A and B are shown apart, each in its own frame.
Chain A
Amino acid sequence: MSFQQQLECYPQTEIVQQITAATPQQIDRALQQQRLNIDDFSRLLSPNITDRQLELMAERAQRITRQRFGRTILLYAPLYLSNECFNGCKYCGFSADNHFPRKTLTLKEIEREAKILRRQGFRHMLLLTGEAPKVAGIDYLEDAIKIIKKQCGSVSIEVFPMDTDGYQRMVAAGVDGLTVYQETYDTELYRQLHPYGPKSDYHYRLDAPERAGIAGLRRIGIGSLLGLGNSLSDVFYSGLHALYLARKFWRTQVTLSFPRICPADGGFQPNSIVDDRQLTQFICAMRLLIPDAGLVLSTRESAELRNNLLPLGITQMSAGSCTAPGGYGEENRDAEQFTISDERSPAEVENLLKSRGYEAVWKDWDGAFLNKAAND
């Protein structure tokens, strides 16, 4: 069954109804299961969860995370290569509708940025672009990756969706992870929010993680942009999507992120607000659903919240981030994709982790271990 077919088995109105109608007994039962099924998971997303139940879920999430991941947090840095984009996503700072200086880093600039990040300690870098294949397409990425891999052993990408061939080229270039958010799984809302450009194709984007799996990427990251649509159904579908990928690509690690919508250049107003309690609940529920998934928390969230969510299941964090291309080397931060809340430097984050009994993992993987004729 394709993922699209699986999605159709869980219509949105029914799922939202199931989640919001969860009784205290159903939530209790779900909390007690050794392995969650998808219905248990839906109950754990319910707004009806009591503080006591939430605390119990948090404890389980912590226990599972410590068993699987120990007390370690992987630190990575986002590296924006280009903010050129042909999509008109209504909520994004890079939307083609927004007018500000567009920038695509030259190879020299890329090298400069990567070196800065390397000096800060990073060995995992996440490369980001908008969707402008003519300016920052696969060829450009291949060149960029060659340079960046000299500075770090692990490169992931969060760029425009590609065909399987494109992903295979990325694997050959040395990319080991891919992130692509569906933003929202609500097809009607998706259509409204992505009125033009390649990203308006819902299904092409939906199947991108699967194409990445077929191409052999080691890590696949997904997630919804919380606040765009109904967060209950979007988190549910993210969980369903993660399970689907984990079952189908059993050699691949799945990671989930929980980006919450926040002010962007276009002044977009979110449909709904996910508050801290709900965010906590979603993260813990996801940890219980998929004990082996990586859970990612970026610098969109405040330092204080990140500190508090740390013990509850997070396994990967960014630090000292800049979401404007070239922003590590330059002071200019005008062209940001979203506003950073947690402005602590990587060194500060590492100290914080230590103080909480966690070890910052700078390097968890190096493509050089693979006996490939890659660009080392």
Chain B
Amino acid sequence: MDQLIIAGREFNSRLLVGTGKFASNQAMVAAMENSACEIVTIALRRVDLDNPEDSLLSHIDSDRYLLLPNTSGARDAEEAVRLARLARAAGCEPWIKLEVTPDPYYLLPDPIETLKAAEILVKEGFVVLPYMPADPVLARHLEEIGTATVMPLGAPIGTNRGVRTRDLIGIIIEQANVPVIVDAGLGAPSHAAEAMEMGADAVLVNTALADTPNPALMAQAFRKGTEAGREAYLAGLGTQRQQAEASSPLTGFLRNG
């Protein structure tokens, strides 16, 4: 069985789903169900005292899905660590999607603060899944300090632009010894398929599912795209042919004399 294994835990689905930006809880749940995902990300925010909402958790079956709190909103390592500890105090399993995004325009992950926070959280026993720029050297550092995966971005959050960081993600996949989950910027099922065809272990999608009139159907499409990409990768893709170019043969000396 081709299972995704993170921190020793097995999953059948290679599509992770984010729960943000949906028009309604119903839309969110429909997307989750149709994606066949097993891991969903959630965020932490201050309770609005004037308008306390229905808790998100009453809509998500925590027996069916692994809840993966993220540290979105954190602008530095200290804030991220604090958010992680808060999530853990809520009784969640100590899995955390580490997200340190001080830049409010593009929400790009801060490599330095992410590495700092990851080191602290790994030591505190968290299973850390760090969202990071598509930087192969940073990926090696994070893996070295013990994160359970690396999660390079495909394109800036919410832009739906696909695997723009393709070449660097290729290097990360080549060099990583932990699962590589392409996160952020995937806007279409074909993007998810592309990432999986390259050998990514999983993909995480949020905006593309939330920002559509039919989240349930889009989630289904993403499920298929992710599976298709993975199967193509396992089957072994054909590649474009290369022709011999040299004018005088390099190996001619083997045949002369």
Contact = CB atoms under 8 A, between A and B. Distances in A.
- The short answer to whether A and B are in direct contact, CB under 8 Å, is yes
Contact of B241 (A32, A51, A59, A280): A32
B177 A277 contact: no
A31 B244 CA distance: 11
B174 A59 contact: no
A250 B175 contact: yes
A59 B177 CA distance: 31
A62 B250 contact: yes
Contacts of A308: 253
B244 A55 contact: yes
A312 B254 CA distance: 13
Contacts of B177: 247
Given A247-B175, A250-B140, A55 B251 contact: yes
A33 B244 contact: no
Interface in B198-257: 236, 238-242, 244-246, 249-251, 253-255
A162 interface: no
A32 B239 contact: yes
A312 B140 CA distance: 30
A247 B174 CA distance: 9
Interface residues of A, number: 24
Contacts, number: 48
Nearest to A63: B245
A33 B239 contact: yes
Given A247-B175, A247-B177, A58 B250 contact: yes
Contacts of A304: 253
A190 B238 CA distance: 40
B167 to A, nearest CB: 11
A203 interface: no
A34 B240 CA distance: 10
A276 B256 CA distance: 12
B251 A58 contact: yes
B221 to A, nearest CB: 28
Contacts of A250: 140, 175
B238 A312 contact: no
A308 B250 CA distance: 8
Contacts of B249: 55
A54 B251 contact: yes
A312 B250 contact: yes
A35 interface: yes
A150 interface: no
Contacts of A35: 170, 174
A52 interface: yes
Contact of A277 (B174, B242, B246, B254): B254
A29 to B, nearest CB: 7
A59 B242 CA distance: 10
Contacts of A33: 239
Nearest to B136: A250
A287 interface: no
A56 B244 CA distance: 6
Interface in A11-68: 29, 31-35, 51-52, 54-56, 58-60, 62
Nearest to A309: B253
B180 to A, nearest CB: 14
A60 B246 CA distance: 10
Nearest to B255: A51
Contact of B244 (A59, A277, A311): A59
A62 B247 CA distance: 14
Given A29-B238, A60-B242, A250-B140, A280 B175 contact: no
A58 B248 CA distance: 12
B242 A56 contact: yes
Given A247-B175, A247-B177, A250-B175, A32 B251 contact: no
Given A35-B174, A55-B249, A247-B177, A276 B244 contact: no
Which of B177, B253, B255 has most A Cβ within 10 Å? B253
Nearest to B245: A59
Nearest to B140: A250
Nearest to A275: B254
A249 B174 CA distance: 14
Nearest to A304: B253
A149 B101 CA distance: 48
Interface in A276-323: 276-277, 280, 304, 308, 311-312
A280 B238 contact: no
A276 B254 contact: yes
Nearest to B144: A250
Contacts of A280: 251, 254
Given A29-B239, A277-B251, A308-B253, 7 more contacts: A32-B241, A51-B251, A55-B244, A55-B246, A56-B242, A58-B250, A276-B254
3 nearest A-B pairs in the assembled complex, by CB-CB distance? A58-B250, A308-B253, A32-B239
Interface of B: 140, 170, 174-175, 177, 236, 238-242, 244-246, 249-251, 253-255
10 contacts: A32-B241, A51-B254, A54-B254, A55-B249, A56-B242, A59-B244, A62-B250, A247-B175, A277-B254, A312-B250
